[in-house]
Structures are given as C-alpha cells and as structure tokens.
A and B are shown apart, each in its own frame.
Chain A
Amino acid sequence: MKLYSIRVKGHLGAMSLAAFPEMVSQQRGADCVLTGVLPDHSALFGIVTQIEALGLELVEIRLLVPNPDQSERKG
C-alpha cells in the first residue's frame, strides 16, 4: 500500500473525477492533483491507463510515502 500523488493538466470535472473514486482531487493552479493510497503497481497502472483513456495529459507521478501506516502523511 503506497500513497501516490498524480498530477494531470486541467481541472477535472465531476464527470472525469468519477473515473477515480479511490483518489482525492485538488486543484493546483491549472492542474489537478489526485492523491490516494494504492495497493500495488497494477492499481497504479490501472489509474494511468484510465488517464490515457480519457485523453488527459499526465504531468507527474509521485510516490509520497512508501508505508503510510507507519510514517506521517505529507501534505
């Protein structure tokens, strides 16, 4: 289980956000940042594939915290 933050270009409306129920979204400037805990790599690539399917522009993927249960969450 790892905490990821994924940044895509543009703000996601309700329609697009519905594709990422496991993530929390925040608008940061002209981008949207999705944050969430994903169980494994397959889940991560699932999110990436969904991003591709929606034609979104992927800006950045970050691994925030390797073991969120044990260490503090970062903002």
Chain B
Amino acid sequence: MAVDLGRGHVAVTGLVDRERLLSALDQALKKRVTLISAPAGSGKTSLLRTWIGRLQGAYRVAFISARSEEDEQGFWLVLLAAFGASETPVPVPTFNGANAVDRALTQLNQNNDPIVIVIDDAHELTHDALAHVAKFIADLPAHAHVVLASRHDLRLGAHQLRLAGEVAEIRAKNLEFTESETRELLARSGITLSGEALRTLQQRTEGLAAGLRLAALSLAVDSDPEEFVAQFSGSNRVVADYLMAEMLERQPPHVQRLLLTTSILGRVNGELADLLADTTGSDSILLELEDANAFVVSLDSERTWFRYHHLFRELLRLELRRTTPDLVAELHRRAAEWFTDRGYMVEGIRHTQAAGEWQSAAWLLADQVFDLLMSGQHKTLQSLLEAFPRAARIDHPELALVDAALESTQGRFEEAAQHLDIAEREAEKQPAEEDCGYRVGIATLRLCLARLRGQLDSVIEQVNYLASPAGARRRSGTPLSGVLRATALMNLGVVEMWSGRLADADQHLREGAELSEKIEHPYLRVSCLSNLGFASKVRSFASAREHSERAVELAHRYGWENETIIAPALLTLAGTHIWAGDFITGEKWLARAVKLTPPNTNPPVELLLHIVSGMFHAGRNRLSDALVEFEQAQRMQSLMLGEHVLASQATGWAAATKARLGMLADARRVLAEASPERAATGELRNAAAAIALESAEPDEALAQLRDVLDGRAPIIHDFTLVEAHLLAAQAYHMLKNEPEVRSSIEKALALAELERLILPFAMTGSRELLGKLPRHTTAHAALVLEILDMLEGWPRAGNGLSTPATTELSQTELRVLRYLPTNLSRSDIARELYVSVNTVNTHFRNIYSKLGAGRRTEAVERARQLRLLAH
C-alpha cells in the first residue's frame, strides 16, 4: 500500500466564518476531546476546515478522514506521518493495534508543541479501530487535543472523561445556521433576500448547512430568488433532494454531465473526469467548483485530486443510476482501465467488479494477493474477495489463491492447503508459458505455509520451480510484480536455509534483499537480511554479523524492534557472540529474541533459539539447563517434517550433555534412536566419542572420531571439527600420549583462530588440558590466553555480573588492570598478587563491567581509550 498521505491533507478555502462555532471550538481546546456529532450535511467538515485554517500558526494540525473499506494500519501510518515521524512510515504484514497506539503516542511525545488532531468521518471507523482510538485518547499527552467528527454518537468509553470535564460536544442543534449566519452565507454569494424570504428559507431548511449551500448555488443564478424560496417552502420534499435537483437543473449541461458521471468515483482528477464525461478541460471546472464552494474539495496541496461532499455524491450517484442506468457499467469499465493502467490496483479492481466483469477482476485480484498481504491489507483483500457474488466465486476457481492467502494469515493452514490444491488444478489448465504469476504465487504460498509449519520436505517441487529461471511474465505480459518475486525469493531462501541448503539459501536471500531494496519494500528487505544472517554463516561469521546487524538496524529505523521477523538475526548475533565466548553480548541478543518469539509458532526458528540457549548454558557449565534446551530443540524437530539443518546438532549435544551429567544409558539411547543418516554425521560421532570418554574408553572415542577427523563424516560447520580435535586430545591424554595431545590441541586452535571458535573449548571441558599446554609450544598463544580467561572467569554457579556502584576503578582493580595486557593467566596473576583466583575473578568481572567489555582484549582496548593503560 502506498500509504495515501493525501488522507492527511485538508483544503482550507473561504467559507462563512461562523464565529460562535469557531470560538466554541477554540474554547474546547482547553479540554482533551471535542466530539462533533451531527447528521450528513450539517456542515461538520466545512466548519473544521475553516477552523483549521485559523489555527495554523498557533497549533500543529494533524487531519485525517477515516475510510470505511480500508485497513486500520493505513489510518495510523497517516497519523504517524502527521505527527512528524522522520522516516516515512511503512506498513507491515502483521498489524498490531496496541503497538500502533504506542507508536503514535511515542511519536506525539517527541514534540511538546501544542497539536490538534482532527479525525473526520469517525463513524467510518471499525469497531476495533474505534477501540484503539479510545485507548489513544485515554493516554493523550497534555499538549494534544483530539476532535472527532461523526454522523452519530460513538462508543468511546468517554464516560470517565466526561465526568472529569475533559469532553466538549457540538451537536446538530449547535450546527444549525441561525438567521444572521444564513444572511451572511447568502451575502457571500451576492444574494440578498427580503427578511421574510430569508426567514422562510432558514426555517424550511432547518438551518441545514448542505441545504443552504445548495440553495445558494441555485439562488445565485435564479432570476427571481423570492419566487424560488416561495416554491421551495411550498414543497414538502426532503430538503437535500429538492435543492439538489434544482441546483443540477441550473448547471450547464457539460457540468451536469461531469458531476453525474464522476459520481461513481471515490476521488476524481481532471484527466479521469475528461475520460468519463467524454470531454476536455474538466480540471478547470473542478477548480472553479471548489472555489465556488460547490461541494468539491481538493485532496492535495497541488489541487489535482478532488472529492465530492458525501451527501452530494450520494445524491448524484442515485441520479445517475436513475436517469442513465445503461451508462453506469461503461463508466466503471473506463475508470477501471484508467486506474489499473496507472497501478492503482485496489481502485481498479473495485471498478472492474462494479462493471460486472468478474473474470478480469478475479485475475487482477489474484495478481495483487502478495502486494496486499505484504503490506498488511488483509481487510482490503477480504472485502475485495467478498465483493464477488457466490456464483462468481464458483465460476472463477483462481480465486482460491486469495482464499488460501487469507487463511494462511489466520493460521488456518489446513484450509489454506486445500484451497491451494484447487488453485493448482486451475493453474494446470492454463498453458505453461502464459501464467507465471499465478503459478509463482501458488508456489510461494506453499513455501510460506511450509516455512510456518516447519514442513521442509513437502515442498521440493515448489523449490525447484521457483529456483529455475521459469520466466518472469504474467498473463498480461507485464513482468512479475517485484513484491511477488521478492516474497518468492524470501520464502524460497528460508526453506532452503532450514533444510540445510545454505549455499542456495545464501544466494536467493541475497537476491531477495537486493530486489527488495530496489523496489523500496523495507519489510521484505528486513525479512531477507534477517535470515541471510544465519544463511551466510556458511561464508563467515563476519558476513553473518554484518547482515544481521543491518537487519536489526533497519528494523529499528522503521519501528519494528518487536516484530518476529528479526528473530533469526537476533539469534545469529547471539550465536556468533557466544561462539566467540562473549556471553554478555550474546545473552542480550538472546533475551531479545526470546521475548519476541512466542512458543510453538515457528518450529524452525525456535529450534535455533533453543540451540543457542543451550550453547549459552553449556558454555557457562550449566549442564542441566543446557540439556533442557537441547531437548526442547529436539522436540521442535519432531514437530517438523524434514530434517532441520541443525537437527544433528540438537541430538548430538543432547546426548553429549547427558553423558557429561553422568546419564550414560540415556545418552546411548539417544544415539541408538537416531536414523542411520543422522548417526553418520560428525555431530553425532562427537557425541558418541564424548560418551566413550565419560565411560573411560579412549580407544572407542578415537574410533568414533576417525571419520570426523578424516573429513569423511558430514558436518554442519568447522566447529564440529574443533570439537572433534578437542575430544581426541582428551582421549590421547587418557592414553598418556602427550605429543598427540599437543598435536590435537594445536589443530583445534588453528581451526578456531579464524572465527574465534572459543565455545567448543568450554563445552568439551578442555580447560585443564589447555592450561597445561606449555605456552611456548603453540603458535596461538594469544588465543589460548583468551580462552583460558573465558574459561576461568566464569564461576560454576554464576548467574551474571554484579553491577558495581560507581564506574570508576578502585585501586585494587587498577592494579589488576595492569596485568591485563600481559600473557599471564588469572592463576598467574593471583600468584603475583598473593590472592586467590576467586578474588582475581571478582576483580576481572568488575573491571569488565565498568569498562563495558566482554573479554580481555576488549577490556584492554577500552582501558587504553580511557587512558587507564599506556599504549
């Protein structure tokens, strides 16, 4: 949805200044809310327009008119923009009303300049939208005032506010034109009536604004105004009806034609009007009409788009249908073509439907499914679908794609799958080259469902179809919509990623991210980047971090910090930090990810979440907690069809952790229950080796590790290899083969160096071995120091840092700080200072905390920046 910011524009033209009402509105500013409740034609909008004109300068004004058939999200985005959001607000697929209200209030609080928020046509708000507006009003800051204009009273829960004197009201009676106001209105159009005629007019119209303005239009061109009034008062006809007919009659034929034919439109511009009325020069007529206050209002500051006053338009439409019924369908057809040619697809589809062209409308709607879905316009999609009569729904099974899309957003996956089956049968009837868009749509939706349900196996065909360069043309010959293609790439990439095809996933997600950037679709871009983080771990951690950080940064920019789409990015960041032994940062990312991933909604992501959580606990030696997480990861795998890329890791670590907890029989059972394919993976071999080591069977351990070390066993990533070497080292140590111990550790260090894979050293319990390593024999001394630092620094039952009272380092801490840049381990430092290692640990903790560092090298750097240490 290109957010129609035009809804926030209010034309301010010269109308009668109704002083008493304008000052009533001014007075009302002292309260929180003004409610204007009066029927159609009472002059609410005109009054507000005049008033806003006078306010500007003293107050900021946000104006929005509510629309009945649109998604609530658009309403809040327009308000956000009006409140001065720096970034053009962008819609998201999953709208959350409470979040929208929060964002609006937050934005409002950024600027304390007084602001008036006017919501016109508030009766068009849905029940839910009204509830959100009520919440918004309840928490409104003191510098803001809200005006609601509606045709009938609204349930705003305003009782409390009323009791507190916070509500001002203007009702129909207040809006009625008085005699003197009537005189002034007529005078503005150059009309003078006798006192009696004036009174008659005012009484007959009951002071109704619309009536008086219609009358004025007729009176201005009538040769005998007094007679006009007499005739009018003699009739019993409803005011608007009578005066409308009179006014129309007095217009030149070309203006009549213009007004009647364009009445089918929600908004009109000169070009479109020319098209419908078979004429030229409509734009100047529209401008003239607006200047004459003839019920035409411009929608933008350039005055290119207009709309008619509601009542006026309503009557024109009725008149059109009554007098030239055969023309109506043709007009809708022309309007449909105009709108679709220019990419205004929703309006285009509505007019196509109004023209009764159900086939075209069905294909147009099927084409638009993803654009509407990805911008959260579910309600619009639903209303467009429901506009098809039941017979048409049966005649046009291609609409099944729309049903499927809506059902997938509602979590009705079974129904969605069934509708996709119907859609697919329909697609098969079309010649292959002709209808790519539809097929791509079906394939994408299938992938989307698979992604949500974790059914990775079932979608191989879809994957192959989408991955092939199966043209990119729609039935109409135009290229596939960028949104459709980007959504396809995103879903494809994610499914490939979770199934372990990381290279393919990397490629497709990258393509998806680039395309999303090109078509300026931030939500899809964030989705792609967020997943690309995980997928690109296959290249490097640095790459993974870069993509993930970009995704999070973008999400922040658009206010999407709490959207679940960034969960993969957060988890990737947590994971890479934890692998590198930086638990503080890792935990922060992990906590955020946990908060925004509701359980049992997305098995593949949750599996990753539990693995990372398990890694976090294991690294800090909390084996029982780690086991709980690894078993949860296994449970997520059981909810899925097809093998998750990290499945073997979950099983392997669950078994190994059980072994380390002494649950040897359980551990063996886990391995025994694994399928042959999974049992052959490096991750499970490592687990078998760990079990063997715990059972004091070093030869058995080495036997299990052989295929891993030879590179024959499939592994997820090099960390499995590092782990394998460390386990081998422990086996050799048991066999008292010191040279091999050193050799294995050296290999492990070499592999770990590039990506700083420190975690395996913790998880395999290699602290002792590493500590014994003579420092001069290794080429990776710095790494060893860092690993030892990490391993020694975390007490067994630790649960986080204590925050010191001040940020300054104490004398003792400064003394310890001086040892940080050296290659002395913590135990060495303890000996130097004649204190216990525990004391040194406490000092290190505090130093890290005060310097905001996660590890030793970082602490040194910070200390140097702060000039606590020399360079």
Q: Which residues of A approach B to under 8 Å, CB–CB?
A: 8-16, 18-19, 27, 30, 32, 52-57
Contacts and interface: CB of A to CB of B under 8 A. Distances in A.
B236 A10 contact: yes
Contact of A16 (B151, B152, B210, B315): B315
Given A10-B237, A13-B245, A55 B322 contact: no
Contact of B241 (A12, A27, A52, A57): A12
A12 B237 contact: yes
A30 B40 contact: no
Contacts of B239: 10
Interface in B238-268: 238-242, 244-245
A19 B318 contact: yes
B152 A54 contact: no
B311 A15 contact: no
Contact of A54 (B208, B237, B242, B315): B315
Given A11-B236, A13-B241, A13-B242, A55 B318 contact: no
Contact of B208 (A18, A53, A55): A55
Contact of B152 (A32, A52, A56): A52
A55 B239 CA distance: 10
A12 B238 contact: yes
Contact of B39 (A11, A27, A32, A55): A55
A19 B322 CA distance: 9
Interface in B110-166: 151-152
B767 interface: no
B237 A11 contact: yes
Nearest to B151: A52
7 contacts: A11-B235, A12-B241, A15-B318, A18-B318, A54-B40, A54-B311, A54-B315
A46 to B, nearest CB: 13
B173 to A, nearest CB: 13
Contact of B245 (A9, A11, A15): A15
Q: Which 4 A-B pairs have the closest CB atoms?
A: A10-B238, A55-B40, A55-B41, A13-B241
Main secondary structure of the interface of B (DSSP, over half): helix
Contacts of B237: 10-13
A28 to B, nearest CB: 11
A55 B236 contact: no
A41 B41 CA distance: 27
> A9, A11, A53: which has the most chain B beta carbons within 10 Å?
A53
Nearest to B40: A55
Contacts of B414: none
A55 B245 contact: no
A54 B318 CA distance: 11
Contacts of B152: 52
A40 to B, nearest CB: 16
A38 B314 CA distance: 22
Given A10-B239, A30-B236, 7 more contacts: A11-B235, A13-B237, A13-B238, A14-B322, A15-B241, A55-B208, A55-B311
Interface string B305-349: 000001100110011011000000000000000000000000000
Nearest to B311: A55
B376 to A, nearest CB: 27
> B241, B314, B322: which has the most chain A beta carbons within 10 Å?
B241
Contacts of B321: 18
A9 B237 CA distance: 9
Contacts of A30: 236
Nearest to B248: A15
B40 A52 contact: yes
Contacts of B241: 10, 12-13, 15-16
A16 to B, nearest CB: 5
Contacts of B240: 16, 54-55
Contacts of B235: 11
Contacts of A27: 236
B466 to A, nearest CB: 43
A19 B244 CA distance: 15
A52 B315 contact: no
Contacts of A54: 40, 238, 240, 311, 314-315
A64 B736 CA distance: 103
A15 B236 contact: no
Interface in B194-235: 208, 210, 235
B259 to A, nearest CB: 13
Contacts of B242: 13
Contacts of B151: 52
Contacts of A10: 236-239, 241
Nearest to A31: B236
Nearest to B210: A55
A18 B318 CA distance: 6
A22 to B, nearest CB: 14
Nearest to A53: B314
A14 B321 CA distance: 11
A53 B316 CA distance: 13
Nearest to B310: A53
A49 to B, nearest CB: 10
A67 B319 CA distance: 34
Given A10-B239, A30-B236, A15 B315 contact: yes
Contacts of B40: 52-55
B187 to A, nearest CB: 25
A11 B42 CA distance: 19
Contacts of A14: 322
A30 B245 CA distance: 19
Contacts of A16: 238, 240-241, 315, 318
> B240, B242, B318: which has the most chain A beta carbons within 10 Å?
B318
A8 B245 CA distance: 19
A11 B241 CA distance: 9
Contacts of B318: 15-16, 18-19
Contacts of A56: 238
Contacts of B238: 8-13, 16, 32, 54, 56
B246 to A, nearest CB: 10
Contacts of A52: 39-40, 151-152
Contacts of A18: 318-319, 321-322
B248 to A, nearest CB: 9
> B208, B236, B311: which has the most chain A beta carbons within 10 Å?
B236
A3 B237 CA distance: 25
A30 B151 CA distance: 24
Interface string B441-463: 00000000000000000000000
A53 B152 CA distance: 11
A48 B116 CA distance: 33
Contacts of A15: 241, 244-245, 315, 318-319, 322
Contacts of A53: 40, 310-311, 314
Nearest to A8: B238
Contacts of B42: 55
A50 to B, nearest CB: 9
Contacts of A19: 314, 318
Contacts of B322: 14-15, 18
